[in-house]
Amino acid sequence: MNIIGKTRLWFFISGTLIVISLATLVGNGVMRGKPMNFGIDFTGGTLLNLRFAQNITVAQVREILHAHNLGGAVIQRSGERDILIRSEPIEGEVRQKIVSELAEKLGGVELLEADTIGPLIGAELRLQALWALIIAMAGILIYISFRFEFIYAVAGVLALFHDAIISTGFMALLWRNVDITFIAGILTILGYSINDTVVIFDRIRENMKKPGKKKFAEVVNQSLLETMARSINTVLTVIVMVLAMLFFGGENLRDLCLVLLIGFIAGTYSSIFIASPIVVWWETRK
Amino acid sequence: MRKNINQLRILIILAVLGASIFILMKFPLNLGLDLQGGTRLVFEGQDTEKVKVNDDSMAGVVAVIRNRIDALGVAEPVIQRKGRTQAIVELPGVKDPDRAIKLIGDTALLEFVEAEWTSASEAVLTPEKVKEFYGQDAYLAKVPEVRDGQVVSERPIILKKTTLTGADLKMAYPQIDEYGNPCVGFELNPDGAKAFAELTSRHIEKPIAILLDKKIISAPNVKTPITEGKGIITGSFSPEEVKDMVIKLKAGALPVPVKMVETRIVGPTLGKDSIDKGILAGLVGFAFIIIFMILYYRLPGFLADLALVIYVLLTLSVLSLLRATLTLPGIAGFLLSIGMAVDANVIIFERLKEELRSGKTIKIAVESAFERAFAAILDSNVTTIIAAATLFFVGTGTIRGFAITLSIGILASMFTAIVLTRMLMDLMVDGKVLTSPESKLLYK
């Protein structure tokens, strides 16, 4: 199989996905006022996770919130009898009032979780998240430059941008809630993807040392094929775990698992079809 | 000789296994607030006209809050500064988080204010007029009359001058007043007692307003001079309110007021839910991985599975030795690391397949497979650790938990794959279980 020979096809596929991702972010920004469905970690606000004693409807909850001037709250069902409410920041006393009113009118409620985050903390966190990404990328760039060559590092990091953009675009497209665990998810994807890429680079490095005159593109292609079984088997075991968490891990892990799922697939793809072809393209461009 | 080496290998593997189990039984894992339930607060000091937020005032805030929490009797609270103007409080397993929040966040500035009743209406008593008649610091306020928790009426009062504050208290304690209602008893320090005696001697039949955080609790009229420096603060308190007020008065007022910028309350049910679901997800994923490895890699796959079981126990025991706190994202990170831990074995076994194809004997093939796979495993894992370490240093709270479990997982997976799987494979080769490259126990 000639992977390197079809470089244009791989770049076209990735390019399309990246364009869709960026278009989704811009489109959301225009149509919905923000590129992603940022959670209270980033925007500030209150999250209430409630378990009712009886089956109730979202409309019933909305009615009561309306009376407290919280008509703008997002109310979701998150389990059989669980309701998730996201709103602007609610003061502790108001929250207590709302919860006791819900309990009174809808027949008992248990407070599973109540988070309130001020808007300033959200801004701080956004900055932190950005720094985390920049520092991680820089660290990876330096390490790979040191162990391989600078162009390998650049190709590896470009592949990471590819993964980060596609994972982000996917979450934006699904309009899933994005909070601090999303950042953790993206960083995990980056860690996984670069791991995958380095295993392939390592094989290229090794094959380059072997005697015999082969074209660089051929060596890379051979290395990709030799590591293919490993790339696939590893992503399979990881994805099995992610799927198990997605189906059995509960609502709180769902958004994290979704971004991991798409990110691991994008990461495996970019390690094989993007990072190494970039190196070949650079080395043979003359 | 060969037999001895094999015995040593078995011994080492059993030792790692035994030590891990022992550690886990002896030191169970710390559960984070999101798993055991509890309250996490982040608050920020607010500048006042008199006191600015700085290192000193925030250190004072933390000290006072520590005293209040100690009085509340929470097991293993965490209180720490965050940045220049913020502090974090974590209270595991608090039953009534809202009460704790109030107890911690109230400034609790107690004031005894020389006051005077007035019958004039608000329309007449403009702030300018009040200042003109009663002095520059005077202002108009209202004393609420509370019955059964409802404010039934309000009586206007002129607040003139603060004579004493909470800083003048020597002691505070719960008490019962003459009608059997809960109230707060207090005792003043010598200077306070002197000032109080002076005030009550010349202020007979006039009110002294008692304010907590600028809100009037009550305004009793002085009947006789109080010279022994003792008194009670009445109001319509529940026994619990009295208890909390005593805690606050004893611990003292916060040097600067604080504002909650983050509160996270997790009920006990959610935490238990999360753990149960995490365990279920982990078992399902783990089972699939184990089966996959055996089906695909046969005997080596089975050995990798053994190493994986040790990996799980080893990682958990290292986490418990480091006193790391297991959070929900931490569980997710750990489960992911199980999926990734297989990777090193996969790299080695794929390598072994190639080495065998090139016609080497089984012993030499195993040796060179492990040797050649090492660089790939090392470089790939270091880059992942760079990402995880960044998360640790930049992230906070639960995210740190995720970063720690992921990092330790990566290190442990390198150890189990490179050392333990290697031992198990050598054991099979030296023990004559794997003898030829054509063995049915190997994959093709």
| CATH number of the domain that residue A245 is part of | 1.20.1640.10
- List, edge to edge, every strand of the sheet that includes B38-45: A74-77, A82-87, A45-52, A109-117, B258-266, B38-45, B86-92, B78-82
pLDDT of res. B305: 92
In sequence order, what are the residues at sequence separation of 6 or more whose Cβ sits closer than 8 angstroms to the Cβ of residue A1?
A225
Q: Scanning every residue of chain A, which has its alpha carbon at the shortest distance from the alpha carbon of B283?
A: A244
Per-residue confidence (pLDDT) for residue A17, from 0 to 100: 97
Could you give the CA distance from residue A25 to residue A39 in angstroms, rounded to a whole number? 16
Chain B residues 248-267 with CB within 8 Å of chain A: 259-267
Co-location of B285 and B341 in the same domain: yes
CB A263 within 8 A of CB B361: no
Interface of A with B in 212-231 (CB under 8 A): 226-227, 229-230
Rounded Cα–Cα distance for residues A267 and A193 (Å): 4
In a domain, A40, yes or no: no
pLDDT band at B269 (very low <50, low <70, confident <90, very high): confident
Query: Which of A111, A123, A82, A134 has the alpha carbon at shortest distance from A254?
Result: A82
| Other residues' Cβ atoms within 10 Å of the Cβ of residue B426 | 18
**Average of per-residue pLDDT across B229-246:** 85
- Any A CB within 8 A of B279 CB: no
For residue A72, the 8-state DSSP code is T
CB contact B125 to A (< 8 Å): no
Return all residues near B260 (Cβ < 8 A) that are at least 6 apart.
A92, A116, A118, B41, B42, B43, B101, B105
**Pair A205, A275 in one domain:** yes
* Pair A255, A181 in one domain: yes
pLDDT of residue A278: 95
Give the CA angle between residues B202, B208, B214 to the nearest 5°: 140
* B359 and B411 fall within a common domain: yes
- What is the rounded average pLDDT of the residues B323-335? 84
Average pLDDT over residues A161-190: 91
Query: Are residues A158 and A94 part of one domain?
Result: no
Residues A107 and A131 reside in one and the same domain: no
CB–CB of B328 and A252 under 8 A?
A: yes
B291 touches chain A (CB under 8 A): no
Q: Do A248 and B98 touch (CB under 8 A)?
A: no
Domain count, chain B: 2
When pLDDT is averaged across residues B384-391 and rounded to a whole number, the result is 83
Pairing state between β A177-178 and A37-38: parallel
Q: Which among A117, A134, A155 is the end of a domain?
A: A117
**Which CATH number fits the domain that encloses residue B407?**
1.20.1640.10
Longest CA pairwise span in chain B (Å): 109
Specify which residues B259 forms β-bridges with: B44
In a domain, B437, yes or no: no
B394 found inside a domain: yes
Residues of A (230-269) whose Cβ lies below 8 Å from B: 230, 233-234, 236-245, 247-250, 252-253, 256-257, 260
Same structural domain, A146 and A268 = yes
Enumerate the residues of chain B whose CB falls inside 8 A of the CB of residue A183. Answer: 395, 399
- A270 Cβ neighbours under 8 A, 6+ residues apart: A14, A159, A160, A162, A163, A193, A197
Assess if residue B390 is contained within a domain.
Answer: yes
Banded model confidence at residue B444, pLDDT cuts 50, 70, 90: low
* Nearest partner of A83 among A60, A104, A52, judged by Cα: A52
Put residue A42 in one of left, alpha, beta given phi > 0 → left and psi -120 to 50 → alpha: alpha
Chain B residues near residue A237 by CB distance under 8 angstroms: 289, 292-293, 339-340, 342-343, 346
**Which chain A residues are within 8 Å of B84, Cβ to Cβ?**
none
Q: CA distances (Å), B317 to each of A185, B167, B277, B409, in order?
A: 25, 49, 21, 11
Co-location of B131 and B274 in the same domain: no
* Predicted local distance difference test score (pLDDT) of residue A12: 96
Q: Do both A164 and A237 map to the same domain?
A: yes
Is residue A52 located within the same domain as residue A78? yes
Average pLDDT score over residue span B126-141 = 79
Residues in chain B closer than 8 A to A194 (CB atoms)? 380, 383-384, 387
User: B335-365: per-residue pLDDT in tens?
Assistant: 888 888 888 888 898 889 888 888 888 889 9
> For the residues B292-303, what does the mean pLDDT come to?
91
Crossing angle for the helix pair B239-251 and B97-105, nearest 10 degrees? Answer: 40
pLDDT, tens digit (0-9, with 9 covering 90-100), for B40-85: 898 888 888 878 888 888 888 888 888 888 887 777 888 888 888 8
Asked whether residue B287 falls in the same domain as residue B359, the answer is yes
Q: State the residue range of the domain holding B206.
A: 110-239
Distance separating alpha carbons of residues B66 and B60, to the nearest angstrom:
10
Contact B267 A111 (CB under 8 A): yes
Residue B62 maps to a domain: no
Report yes or no on B68 lying in a domain.
Answer: no
Q: What is the three-class DSSP state of A201?
A: helix
Q: Which of B219, B239, B259 is the last residue of a domain?
A: B239
pLDDT of A104: 87
Residue B303 has phi, psi (to 5 degrees) of -65, -40
Q: Do the bridges between strand B38-45 and strand B150-165 make them parallel or antiparallel, or are there none, so unpaired?
A: unpaired
Please check whether residues B121 and B233 belong to one and the same domain. Answer: yes
Which of A85, A117, A149 is at the close of a domain?
A117
Domain check: are B223 and B283 in the same one?
A: no
Percent residues over pLDDT 70 in chain A: 100
Task: Choose from A179, A233, A243 for mutation: most chain B CBs within 10 A.
Answer: A233
A146 touches chain B (CB under 8 A): no
Residues B228 and B314 reside in one and the same domain? no
**Same domain, yes or no, for A237 and A257?**
yes
Which residues in chain B have their CB less than 8 angstroms from residue A190's CB?
387
- The Cα–Cα gap between B389 and B156 comes to 61
* B145 shares a domain with B18: no
**pTM score of the predicted model:** 0.83
Q: Which of B:333-362 have CB within 8 Å of A?
A: 333, 335-336, 338-340, 342-343, 346-347, 350, 354
The CA distance from B416 to the nearest CA of chain A, in Å, is 16
pLDDT at A286: 65
* B103, part of any domain: no
More confident residue, B432 or B429: B429
Q: Measure Cα distances from B278 to A254, B227, B282, B284, B399 in Å.
A: 12, 65, 6, 10, 17
- Residue B123: pLDDT band with limits 50, 70, 90: low
Distance from CA of A162 to the nearest CA of B (A): 16
pLDDT for res B398 = 63
- Tell me if B261 is assigned to some domain: no
Query: Do A10 and A56 have their domain in common?
Result: no
Q: Is residue A37 part of a domain?
A: no
Give per-residue pLDDT as tens, B80-108.
888 888 899 988 888 788 888 888 888 88
Asked if pLDDT for residue A106 goes beyond 90, the answer is no
Same-domain check for residues B414 and B333:
yes
Q: Nearest CB to A115: which of B264, B346, B394?
A: B264
Q: How many CB atoms lie within 10 A of CB B260?
A: 19
- pLDDT recorded at residue A25: 96
A193 and A249, same domain (yes or no): yes
Residue A202 lies in domain: 4-31+121-283
Domain stops at, among A75, A90, A117: A117
Considering the domain architecture, whether residues B271 and B320 belong to the same structural domain is answered as: yes
Of B340, B233, B153, B393, which is closest to residue A136 (Cα–Cα)?
Answer: B393
Mean pLDDT of chain A: 90
Same domain? For B315 and B384 the reply is yes
Contact with chain B for residue A132, Cβ under 8 A: yes
Q: In the 8-state DSSP scheme, what is residue B166?
A: G
How far is the C-alpha of B57 from the C-alpha of B155, rounded, in Å? 36
Contacts of A202 in chain B (CB under 8 A): 375-376, 379-380
Q: For residues B279 and B175, give the distance between their C-alpha atoms in angstroms, rounded to a whole number.
A: 50
The CA-based dihedral angle spanning residues A99, A104, A108, A109, taken in that order and rounded to the nearest 10 degrees = -10
Tell me, yes or no, whether B276 and B403 share the same domain. yes
Inter-residue contact B280 to B335 (CB < 8 Å): no
User: What pLDDT, on a 0 to 100 scale, did the predictor assign at position B144?
Assistant: 81
Task: Using alpha carbons, list the distances in angstroms from residue A247 to A6, A226, A253.
Answer: 36, 33, 10
Instruction: Dump pLDDT digits (tens) for B194-232.
Output: 988 998 888 888 899 888 888 888 888 888 888 888 888
Neighbour-count burial of B405, counting CB atoms closer than 10 A to its CB (0-12 exposed, 13-18 middle, 19+ buried): buried
**What is the distance between the alpha carbons of residues A1 and A221, in angstroms, rounded to a whole number?**
8
CATH number at residue B118: 3.30.1360.200
Considering A17-21, A92-96, B116-120, the range whose residues carry the highest mean pLDDT is: A17-21
Cβ within 8 Å, pair A180-B395: yes
Whether residue B250 is contained in a domain is answered as no
Amino acid at A135: I
Inter-chain CB proximity A253 and B340 less than 8 Å = no
pLDDT at B1 over 60: no
Quote the pLDDT of residue A268: 95
Residue B152: which residues within 8 A CB-CB, separation 6 or more?
B145, B146
The residue ranking higher by pLDDT, B97 or A276, is: A276
pLDDT of residue B309: 93
DSSP letter (8 states) at residue B73: T
pLDDT, tens only, B8-32:
888 888 998 999 999 988 888 888 8
Instruction: State yes or no: pLDDT of B111 exceeds 90.
Output: no
Domain count, chain A: 2
Give the position of tokens 């043979």: A284
> Domain holding A112: CATH number?
3.30.70.3400
Bridge partners of A122, per DSSP, are none
Helices marked H in chain A — which ranges?
7-31, 40-43, 58-67, 92-106, 119-147, 150-174, 180-209, 216-248, 251-270, 276-283
